[in-house]
Structure 1
Amino acid sequence: MADPTLFLGLELAGTGVHPASWRRADSRAEDLFTGGYWVDAVTAAETAGVDAVFLPDAFTPQPGGPGVTRGRLDAVAIAARVATATHGIGLLPQASVTHTEPFHLSKAIASLDFASAGRAGWEVTVSETAAEAKAFGRKGVQDAGSLWHEADEAIEVVTRLWDSWEDDAEIRDVPTGRFIDRDKLHYIDFAGDNFSVKGPSITPRSPQGQPIVAVRAADAAGAAVAVRRADLIRISAASLEQARARRADLRAALDRAGRDPDAVRVLLDLDLHLASTVDAAAAEVLELDRWAAPAAAPRAGDAPLRHLGTTLGLRTLLDEIGGVADGVVLRPLALAPVLTRLADLGRARPAGTAFRHRLGLPRPVSRYATAPTN
């Protein structure tokens, strides 16, 4: 059995991250835009012992030619749909800050935390393309520095809004007719380069106090924000040695930033395909590659660590990853066969406790709890 303490995440990218995965007979591509598809996928992941699912999203259709799955459902809405059908698995939708107001994001993720009884997270993303900018029409394309500076401010606004209600602000005092103690709601008074938000939130403080924040350290600007803000940092590496070095660099950066490196989890992305044998897995991926249009093929420099083989081989690899990272995020090339075989890892179903508790992270105290009343 693979190390049961290793964080195991699963990225649910439609029918799989491979652009031709929808063409497999078992893909259920016809159900992709139904709630039932996502409920079945997430409940299967929970049964297999997956700790959390990551739900990709963006403001443009998937890139590639006519042979690529096109179209998306909103990731936060998917997470809300599956929240009541699951009991222990963490739910981390992606949500971009580039064309979205942080007030709206804070409310959406806090509401998800209530709906899931404390299992919500938020993977922070940015929108880099001209197509996304034109879809909104409010501003032009930004460079990486500008995008991530805006993201840094947005996370600050969101987390302040999550804290703007103290835990005991709801008093529901029938004799006096007061539902809330107004002295325990606080203005956040944030003024930055991109946002000016007074607050407070209109949503009470959620079960976790602050839902889990994840950031992908894909470039220098994103990594800098991850070091300042994230509870979970996602990395990609071509080898275990490279992953070990990246985690060491991030932990050193966390220490320099005044954060406890042991209070942040570094997660390694792992692309995978599972079959009955190594040869069968390789043959099935070769078939996917033949189906894929050239425009949809990954660029050479983007290839992360891969496992094409059996569940037994995956167990061995997860044990090795446990020595170089705090967890792994599985990215199935085709989702259906991975969901079918993940149960063979022998992991226990995640307990129905707050996501923070399962990660061993404390529930933060509201930064305004000792502040003067408004």
Structure 2
Amino acid sequence: MTRRLARAGGLTAAVLAAVVLQPAPAPAQAVGQRGDVVTWAASADRMGEAAADRSYRLVVRTSVAGTDLRIRLSNAFGDRPVTFDSAYTGLQAERAALVRGSNRRLTFDGNRSVTVPAGKSVLSDPLPGRLPAGSDLVVSIHTPDAAGPATGHGMALQTSYAAKGDHTAQAGAEAWTDEIGSWFYLDAVSVRPQAGTGAVVALGDSITDGWQSTTDLDRRWPDYLARRLQKADTPLKGVANEGISGNKVLADGAGQSALNRLDRDVLSHPGVRTVLLFEGVNDLKAHTGVTAQDLIAGYRQIADRAHKAGKCVVGATVASFKGWSEWDPAAEAVRQEVNTYIRTSGDFDAVTDFDRVLRSPYDPERILPVFDGGDHLHPNDKGMQAMADAVDLHRLDCDRPRRTG
């Protein structure tokens, strides 16, 4: 049994092929009383020039279990339509090889092909069958004539695969000779879970994106959080990681700002109940003149828009980063003022104090050495787990009225 299959819950390949993404009996509860919930997501960004007649085999780690899987393909940063003439989804066995019998075709309004206009996204039809929690899902797509700017997520910290020509239907790994470290076009996966289930979206920068965590082992802090939620007595089971390395709250640059991408990357996902906001270090360390009041105004806008959409908002304090090349006392003063606001303002439904968890007791302006990934800003695997462990799971959900439909 491969490492990936073992991580999927100790099931054998034969058992997985029998239960995953296979037709399942309809539950006793009416379908109309249940809603989709995001089980995986990654922030869309501009990815350079697209390639025609290219297949992508994209490996993603899901969170919440459910039936009727759907994928979302994004052309958010394209300047022309992009066509996908074949899309499949299955389970990873080893590297680019799939579990036998798990690879199944996806359709779009009943068609095998779909064209996504520039700046838009599209959902696949629901795929009958059940997907367990914590699955290593593989989505294979082919673009026959893609050109212009491609859309995707640059820093996946997950090995995926590419190939010339259409090999999406093939379960074997023979054609998938090109390893890639990014996700192309795929920006979300959703399922229909047990009634009453919801999701958390982590909105952040490179720390949320997972930089300095171990590639291919799903050790970003939202991954650890997802594993905690699966075991906890809470209706929140889905986790969407909407981190972008270098991202800022206020200004576009490394991806659109948190303010500008909030609707697409957070509020558009189904089943989202809570936004966990952990951004700001890139704004204050960039020496662009951003003040604490500027950042606070940005946080308030995000919280207000999320609240109006019926979401809970958890604010996370900005972690220490002394020793990073851009640190200076002025940036530190802004960080301290911002963190005081996050802890005491009451603008958030709850607070997660990542600063308190990660900082050194001997020099609170620095990250604790045992959690330091080596650059004095990004936590290592131990730091990522400590962050997830610091989240109060029962304060992630609140009584805020929810929108329906």
TM-score, normalising length: structure 2: 0.31
**More strand per residue: 1 or 2?**
2
TM-score normalised by structure 1 residue count? 0.33
